[in-house]
Structure 1
Amino acid sequence: MSISFDSTVKIIYYRLNLFFKGYLMQLFKRIVIITTIFSAVYADEKRDIILPDLSVKLLDGKQVRLSGLLEEGPLLVDFWATWCAPCKKEMIFLEEFHQKYYEEGFRVLAISTDSPKSMSKVKSYIRAKKHTFMVGLDPNQEIAKKMNALLMPTVLILNKDRKVSWYHQGFIPGDEKEIEAQIRTVLELDQEKVGE
């Protein structure tokens, strides 16, 4: 029984392919674990940092400052992009939280980091999904860089003093519960300050 050169190459290719697929999958899993650990540690470092009073251009063309948005109460800032599937899943819950806590002074500002060429996609996406929260534009990612929001989505919850009370990167199902818990916490702290 003789094995041809072609079949030998195919067998070697197949075995190497299986090996590398397994190896790459293990490598990917390790990277995800390390990234998760780093994000958790990094999030703790971001807490209580006071952000500069940044100016943001909204989808409707208006310019707003963080200080102006925080006059009513706490603010959730979400960095997202139209190409980011987890961002879109998270935004469903952000709309829900915006509606639920709006009367308590809570606001949501979703800042798109889409490129200048993709800005028309942002407008059509927001219209199609009927989101009612504020949408900011950061086409050159200048604001995202200042807030260390280079992974999509990134959520920061700010209290009225522009302090970061919570920082989170990424979104997997179940994260919405933690986001809402953090919203409630910052609202309770805000109410305590008003009562003092």
Structure 2
Amino acid sequence: MRMMKVLSAAVVLLAACGDAPPGTVAVGKPAPPYVAQVLDGDRTSLADLQGRPVLLNVWATWCGPCQKEIPALEALHREYGPRGLRVVGVSIDQASEQQAIREFMQEHGVSFDVWLDPSGDVTSQFSMVGVPNTFLIGADGTLLWKKVGPVHATDNELRGLIEKSLPAT
């Protein structure tokens, strides 16, 4: 009997980790009003970036797949940043790891913005389980694309959506 209760609880928990319920984070819906901290300590938010498309990547220094995707994110930043895309990495490392985050950024040649979220607010607001997760948010704040797992700079779907989200030249 006890085993049945444990199994029932596990099924409920696993179901909770699936797709987000209606009205939460979904492509075509507004992105959550997310607020974080930049490395210098100031507060920032997605609302501060409204009017520009944002590629929001959630990662951690200890995450192997996160480390492997950094060159792709950097390539997207260098290619599309001058045209208006804002690439933002959100680190969920502990608050005491700021120096390790800075060293990670330097070691991996990260030149895009990095926000800190040691409390993991981003994971609950974006209905995430694990890292990396990446979200493309349009200039109007609408979620255009999301990916669980590492991003690839050659992803044609992502590149097409970035192109469509950029201001006309």
TM-score bracket, shorter-length normalisation: 0.7 to 0.9
1:82–1:114 CA contact under 8 A, matched in 2: yes
Go from structure 1 to structure 2 and tell me whether the alpha carbon gap of 1:101 and 1:186 turns closer, same or farther (over 3 Å shift).
closer
TM-score scaled to structure 2, two decimals? 0.77
- 2:30 equivalent to 1:53: no
The one-letter code sitting in structure 2 at the alignment partner of 1:147 is F
* 1:64 aligns to 2:44 (yes or no): yes
The structure with the largest alpha-carbon Rg is 1
2:15: which partner in 1? none
Are the counterparts in 1 of residues 139 and 165 from structure 2 also a CA contact under 8 Å? no
Cα pair 1:51 1:162 within 8 Å, conserved: yes
Q: Tell me, which stretches of 5 or more residues in structure 1 are unaligned?
A: 1-37, 40-44
Alpha-carbon deviation of 1:65? 1.9
Q: Tell me how far apart the structure 1 counterparts of residues 99 and 116 of structure 2 sit (CA, whole Å).
A: 11
Q: Quote how far apart the aligned CAs of 1:57 are.
A: 0.7
Q: SS of the counterpart of 1:64?
A: strand
- Corresponding residue for residue 74 of structure 1: 53
**1:177 matches 2:154:** yes
Are residues 144 and 183 of structure 1, via their aligned partners in 2, closer, same or farther at CA, if it must alter by over 3 Å?
Answer: farther
Kindly provide the amino acid, as one letter, of the partner of residue 186 in structure 1: I
Q: 1:189 to 1:130 in 2, by over 3 A?
A: closer
Q: Is residue 2:159 matched to residue 1:167?
A: no
Partner of 1:157: 136
- C-alpha separation in 2, matches of 1:125 and 1:119: 10
Length-normalised TM-score, structure 1: 0.67
- 2:11 is aligned to none
Q: What is the Cα deviation at residue 78 of structure 1?
A: 0.3
1:19-168 residue pairs with structure 2 within 5 A?
A: 46-71=26-51, 73-168=52-147
Counterpart amino acid of 1:76?
L
Percentage identity across paired residues of the two chains: 24
1:188 aligns with 2:164: yes
Q: Alignment RMSD, CA only? A: 2.4
Which letter maps to 1:54? Y
Higher helix residue share: 1
Letter in 2 for 1:53: P
Shift of 1:130: 2.6
User: Mind listing any 5+ residue stretches in structure 2 that lack a counterpart?
Assistant: 1-17, 20-24
Q: Secondary structure at the match of 2:40?
A: coil
Higher RCO structure, 1 or 2 (CA under 8 Å, sep 6+): 2
1:126 deviates by 0.8
Q: Any idea what SS the aligned residue of 2:128 has?
A: coil
CA deviation profile, 1:55-93 (whole Å, cap 9, x unmatched): 22111223222122233x210000000110110111111
